[in-house]
Structure 1
């Protein structure tokens, strides 16, 4: 939803997931005990820990203020769409909406991922934690119940943010929109660099296939481009048949 909203309206998209390892590095530099514990364990040991420890090591609450700091450091225009589970009600501000899955939808989607029990437990804990906080802070929510498709959900999100969108500074040029796609893509590439830079990480970082945003800058473009990370460089990422602005 954040990706589609940003592309349709010429906004910058900040995805919390794409900054996970940068935030973890900041927590490590600050000597945060849960961050240090996470890095000291192998992946197998990590996922076998009790639920409370899994939640603590996720840095769910600690990352919210880091996200707020990141967003404050971005240019004032265009407006920013911020998304991700660590965007908690205490730091989100007034223009916020939580898309919360129903238990049935969550069970189905998690089952499709084939995750281990530790990862499943963390996701279950996060949904309960986020739901409780949204209730505590009277946050606006949209139930993801499986009945709405992508377009219907996007329409509901746009309706909720209609007033904010009407006054939000936005990018109107193709070159500017291409630059916003490059910003999102660079953050995503950095996320993979951060992960594979861990001493316990396994796999070929360059061969990992990543879904990047098309950088053609067309207002109606919604294409992704699957590339091995090693192929992401200075050249624009373009879907077949799309051209860079001015080309």
Structure 2
């Protein structure tokens, strides 16, 4: 919604998972068909995003603070751990959520001790989250930076 509203590019890391898997296999870094999670997607994400001509909204759990940095142009939308577990259970009742919680813990751990801006999204609607992001970036949104 943010990208659409302000004319930015939207890059979904999840939407590129199979493309990344094919690229990694072609480079000999991965066995095609074994899933996109066992190789480093960071170089491909950066290769995809950096040449874009406009501001980019990058969405995806694979984008960690260590990868993207925590500068003024970054905001992290994070549920609390309890909320994350509730959401995961809602998507897959009775499932094994350890891998997805591990990702939450990785991102949260990388955010601790930094000046990163985090918006806790527990109980927020999409519209409330959009408003919080707009408030965070204020004048930058109108400038297209």
Match among 25, 30, 50 for residue 72 of structure 1: 50
Runs (4+) off by over 4 Å: none
Structure 2: give runs of 5+ residues left out of the alignment. none
In our comparison, the structure showing a higher alpha carbon Rg is 1
Q: Which has the higher helix share?
A: 1
- What residue in structure 1 maps to residue 3 of structure 2? 6
- In the alignment, the residues of structure 2 paired with residue 37 and residue 138 of structure 1 have an alpha-carbon distance, to the nearest angstrom, of 39
- In the alignment, the residues of structure 2 paired with residue 110 and residue 167 of structure 1 have an alpha-carbon distance, to the nearest angstrom, of 37
Residues 104-123 of structure 1 aligned to structure 2 (within 5 Å): 104-114=82-92, 117-118=95-96, 120-123=97-100
> Secondary structure at 1:73's aligned position in 2?
coil
TM-score of the pair, normalised by structure 1: 0.51
- What residue in structure 1 maps to residue 28 of structure 2? 31
State how many pairs are aligned: 143
Match among 81, 100, 122 for residue 78 of structure 2: 100
- In the alignment, the residues of structure 2 paired with residue 19 and residue 97 of structure 1 have an alpha-carbon distance, to the nearest angstrom, of 21
RMSD: 2.5
- What residue in structure 2 maps to residue 58 of structure 1? 37
Structure 1: give runs of 5+ residues left out of the alignment. 42-56, 170-247
